[in-house]
Amino acid sequence: MSREKWELLSRSALHALAQRKGIAGASRMTKAELVVALVKWSKARTKAKQRKPERAKPQARPQLQDAHHSNGSASTEEQVERSKYTVGTPTKDLSAKVPKELPKGYGKDRIVCMVRDPYWLHTYWELTRQSIQRAEAALGHDWHGSKPILRVVDITARDVSPMSESAVKDIDIHGGCNNWYIDVSDPPRSYRIDIGYLARNGRFYVLARSNVVTTPRAGMSDVIDENWADLDREKADRIFAMSGGFDPGASSLELKQLFEERLRRPMGSPAVTSFGSGAFQYGKERGFRFELNAELIVYGSTEPDAKVTIQGEPIKLRSDGTFTMRFSLPDGRQIMPAVAYSADGVEERTIVLAVERNTRHLEPVVAEMEEMG
């Protein structure tokens, strides 16, 4: 490049070129000094080429060369690997080509189902535009007015027909979500979730089917031997007492048998337990009780002619569009999706309410006879 062409460039461009050529002290040079240094570098390079024959370029390793020709362009990994063996070439910054965040999707139609507890499932999914286009083509005239749904299918094995299955419920979804909590009943049971489009005439086009999951049995597990390994006599009597085992008014025969079977000894009377006799003399045997429970009140408003569902169940609206519902509030986290549909069926709004209750029963404090005396 001639001196005139160097002078047409800005100082920042000349500085970048000088650094790339390995010219020392380029950051402290003025534009004129950079032009002079680049001209000298260009002349020295031209003379060096005239004195020495051009070396043959190092060949890429066979495996990288084959990979390069397989798709017509080198991948980021190939460029990084190849830069290790390129002599005299400045290292390129490939950090811009490395993704900094996980992709939002993987371009694959799938739906995955997981068990949260005996009464709740959680499912998430990904659908590509191509699969929705296939559903539109398959439904034809039925496509207009169809809606995306999740179909909960009970596939619990039965004695008469191990392969029988039945649809439990259909859940309306919308394009703005990719996961859903689903309430189920009568554990243990096996379920599969189908996602697709349901036409007005009842025709259902399946886009993807989930894996099969089985909800656990509600209540305590039968496998409890390992939980009794480090339970000494003092702890056992204390737990048995706090569980109401020594209460004559409670149905504690099954609990007593369980303790005696696991500990391989009879459970003593409350008078000799480490929990103390006063707790029962002035506790339950005195008729003193204390109970606490809670309910959840959900209320809201919408258009009077709209339709509202909470957890898939329809809600009756008042004349002004308001509504109020009472729900039991057991311990744990409750997920309550609420959906409102406009009267013309064009618009749909969804609000997901998550509520958690955590109840703790503290150890009772009972005064001894001497203290009360």
- For residues 93 and 87, give the distance between their C-alpha atoms in angstroms, rounded to a whole number: 16
Q: Name the nearest CA neighbour of 17 among 95, 29, 76.
A: 29
Q: Which CATH number fits domain 110-214: 2.60.40.10, 3.40.190.10, 3.40.50.300, 3.90.1300.10?
A: 2.60.40.10
Domain layout of the chain by residue ranges: 3-97, 110-214, 225-286, 295-357
What are the beta bridge partners of residue 153?
167, 192
Backbone φ and ψ for 238, nearest 5 degrees, come out as -65, -45
- For residues 204 and 147, give the distance between their C-alpha atoms in angstroms, rounded to a whole number: 10
How far is CA 69 from its chain centroid?
Answer: 40
Q: Name the nearest CA neighbour of 215 among 241, 179, 190, 238.
A: 190
- For residues 128 and 133, give the distance between their C-alpha atoms in angstroms, rounded to a whole number: 9
- For residues 73 and 225, give the distance between their C-alpha atoms in angstroms, rounded to a whole number: 61
User: What string of pLDDT tens digits covers the 373 residues of the chain?
Assistant: 667 777 777 778 877 878 777 787 777 788 888 888 888 888 887 777 776 655 555 554 444 444 444 444 555 555 545 554 454 455 555 555 555 565 666 788 999 999 998 899 999 999 998 988 999 999 998 898 899 999 999 998 754 455 578 899 999 998 778 899 999 988 899 999 999 999 999 999 999 999 999 998 886 655 555 555 566 666 777 776 766 666 655 546 666 777 676 666 666 554 444 444 444 444 445 567 788 888 888 999 999 999 999 988 899 999 999 998 888 888 888 888 999 999 998 899 999 988 888 888 777 776 655 444 4
- For residues 286 and 293, give the distance between their C-alpha atoms in angstroms, rounded to a whole number: 22
**Which residues contact residue 102 at a Cβ distance below 8 angstroms, ignoring those fewer than 6 apart?**
none
Rg (CA), the chain: 37
> Percent helix, strand and coil across the chain, each rounded to 5?
30, 25, 45
- For residues 29 and 12, give the distance between their C-alpha atoms in angstroms, rounded to a whole number: 11
- For residues 153 and 192, give the distance between their C-alpha atoms in angstroms, rounded to a whole number: 5
CATH topology identical between 110-214 and 295-357:
yes
Q: What is the dihedral of CA 304, 307, 313, 315, to 10 degrees?
A: 10
Q: What is the DSSP code (8-state) at residue 26?
A: G
Q: Which CATH number fits domain 295-357: 2.40.110.10, 3.40.50.1860, 3.40.50.300, 2.60.40.10?
A: 2.60.40.10
Query: b/e for 91-118, b at 16 or more Cβ within 10 A?
Result: eeeeeeeeeeeeeeeeeebbbebebbeb
